[in-house]
Amino acid sequence: MLGFALGLLLLDLSVASPLGDSTATTEFSCNFGMAKDDAKQSCSVPVPQGCVVAHFPGTTRPWSNISKGGVTTCQFNEKDTDWRTRITGTCGRCASEQCSARFGVMFDCSQGK
């Protein structure tokens, strides 16, 4: 089990530190927890000054991820997210004893230097 956990850690580190011609990135996130039957929760990922949302390598889509625990549905809120100045993650009703969510976004801050 330790080897599996270490493998996941190494995989996570490789995503956070791309090699080769990729630009340097930094990740910002927001997190929250919910109790059973909480109707809805959201949080805003801060956009660092002088940075832009990085694109997932080889694509034009924003480099972002959502991790959740418990029985709920989560997504980046299309109405409240413009991927330049506002990034909002939202989860629906928590149907298990507890739910949690983490919304992560990678930013390219090399242009501000």
For residue range 55-106, what is the model confidence (pLDDT) as tens digits?
998 999 999 999 999 999 999 999 999 999 999 999 999 999 999 999 999 9
Of 6-15, 23-32, 41-50, 83-92, minimum mean pLDDT range: 6-15
pTM: 0.77
Mean of per-residue pLDDT scores for the chain: 83
Half-sphere exposure of 80 (CA within 13 A, CB side): 11
Where are the domains positioned within the chain? 21-112
Beta carbons of 89 and 76 less than 8 angstroms apart: yes
